[in-house]
Amino acid sequence: MTIYDISEKAGVSIATVSRVLNGSSNVSEKTKKKVLDVIRRYEYTPNAFARGLGLNTMKTIGVMCADSSDLYLAKGVYYIEQKLRDNGYDSLLCCTGYELAPRAAAMDLLINKKVDGIILVGSNFVYEKESDNRYIADAALQVPVMLLNAELDAPNVYSVVSDDFTSIYGATLEMIQSGISDIVYFYNSTSYSAQKKLAGFVAAMEEQKLSAGAESCQFYRGSHEDIPAMAEHLKKLHDKGVSFHGVIASDDTLALAALKYARQMGFSVPEDFSVSGYNNSLLAMCSEPELTSIDNKLETLCQHLIGTLMGVLNGNEMPKKTVFSGETIKRGTTR
């Protein structure tokens, strides 16, 4: 069933059918009804490919993330998919892992599929080395690229971020003021956002004349899901003679690992040992006591990101960067 069949059965031209289909105003109520009747009777729906060919868009946005099963990224993807749909767009999902090469390849794929825009979910898409970010700038030559929780200064690239520096800075300060001075910052990423967080920790510590040297900044490399291994990392640190009674984690998983470590050591939390997480994910409710964690307002970020993208697609001038602040959700792992 094509537009020709409908036009024939309705006794009008294909142009009229097309007008009805696209809600054009210049059609008399009478013919409109006539056409609509035929369309409904035959359950006709226009061919999306033909339409795409003519309009050069199929109202699809490419959504890339390292790993859509990661608790935090999954939430991001979820919100974004919802809000895109609300705006009449579909989401083409691409899980790329954390390496550069497959990401660049995925980008090419998306652009060849003629998506109207690309959204990168997660700060890990922006690398430290400037030249590694060429793949983003290149893609932005073709379609707008939106970064969730990452920043990159390039034409047609837009960023919506949470103020990670300030959030971690605040959490660290609070922990210090609660009377703990031997704090370890525990992280597993070197992305732009991760660097901001680290800087927030260091700033707060130094401001309070506390050491924030290599030993207090613990980088964990390994699976993002292997909590026992993360706990083991802290145990080894302790065994090396480093003493600490507080952990600021860059992620709820790492915070949970810190909690596991504390329990293994026989510390009671939060009396002897404090832990602060990040993301305020489901995990924060899983432990006993429940995790103090920083909520970075992911849904707000996503909402804003989609708003910005829609603006860009409509040809409006939109802000290149928007910053929201996070909020500490205090629960049982801090005093």
Partner DNA sequence: TTGAAAGCGCTAACAC
Partner DNA sequence: GTGTTAGCGCTTTCAA
Residues that bind a second copy (CB under 8 A): 45, 47-50, 52-53, 56, 58, 60, 63, 67-69, 71, 74-75, 77-79, 81-82, 85, 90-95, 109, 112-114, 225-228, 253, 256, 259-260, 263, 282-283, 285-288, 290
CB of 43 to DNA, least distance (A): 12
Q: Which residues have CB under 8 Å from 26's CB, separation 6+?
A: 19
Q: 30 touches which of a second copy, DNA, none (CB within 5 to 8 A by kind)?
A: DNA
Contacts of 72 (CB under 8 A, 6+ apart): 122, 251, 279, 281, 298
- Closest CB 87 distance from DNA, rounded Å: 19
- Toward a second copy, which CB reaches closer, 80 or 147? 80
How far apart are CB 60 and a second copy at their closest, in Å?
8
309 binds DNA (CB under 7 A): no
Contact of residue 141 among DNA, a second copy, none (CB under 5-8 Å per partner type): none
Q: Which does 11 bind (CB under 5 to 8 A by kind): a second copy, DNA, none?
A: DNA
Nearest partner of 158 among 150, 168, 166, judged by Cα = 150
Q: How many CB atoms lie within 10 A of CB 163?
A: 17
Which of 41, 42, 50, 132 forms a contact with DNA (CB under 7 A)? 50
Which segment (15-23, 130-138, 155-163, 168-176) binds DNA by CB under 7 A? Answer: 15-23
Phi, psi (degrees; rounded to nearest 5) at 309: -60, -45
Is residue 240 within the footprint of DNA (CB under 7 A)? Answer: no
Q: Does 282 bind DNA (CB under 7 A)?
A: no
**Which two structure tokens, joined as six digits, stand for 79?**
């919100």
State which residue, 16 or 281, has the beta carbon closest to DNA.
Answer: 16
Q: What is the DSSP letter of 142?
A: T
- Which residue's CB is nearer to DNA, number 31 or number 82? 31
User: Which CB, 32 or 238, lies closer to DNA?
Assistant: 32
Strand order in the sheet with 217-219: 217-219, 183-187, 246-249, 274-278, 292-295, 327-329
| Site track for DNA across 52-81, x = CB under 7 A | -xxx--------------------------
149 close to 122: Cβ distance less than 8 angstroms: yes
**CB of residue 222 to DNA, shortest distance in Å:** 44
Binding residue (CB under 7 A) for DNA from 2, 69, 264, 325: 2
- Residue 109 as a binder of DNA (CB under 7 A): the answer is no
The structure tokens listed for 119 are 């959204």
Residue ranges of the alpha helices (H) in the chain?
3-10, 14-21, 29-41, 48-55, 71-86, 100-112, 134-140, 164-177, 192-207, 227-239, 252-265, 298-313
Phi, psi of 140 (to 5 degrees): -70, -15
The amino acid occupying position 318 is M
Which one of DNA, a second copy, none interacts with residue 2, CB within 5 to 8 A by kind?
A: DNA
Cα 234 to Cα 22, 40, 148: the distances in Å are 61, 65, 30
Q: Which is nearer to a second copy, 212 or 258 (CB)?
A: 258
Q: Which does 134 bind (CB under 5 to 8 A by kind): a second copy, DNA, none?
A: none
Distance of CA 201 to CAs 81, 133, 300, Å?
Answer: 33, 26, 25
Least separation in angstroms between residue 65's CB and a second copy is 10
> What is the CA angle 127-131-135, rounded to 5?
75
Report which of 195, 283, 183 is spatially closest to residue 234, judged by C-alpha positions: 183
What is the smallest separation between the CB atom of 31 and DNA, expressed in angstroms? Answer: 3
Which residues are near DNA by CB under 7 A?
2-4, 11-16, 18-19, 21-22, 25-28, 30-32, 46-47, 50-51, 53-55
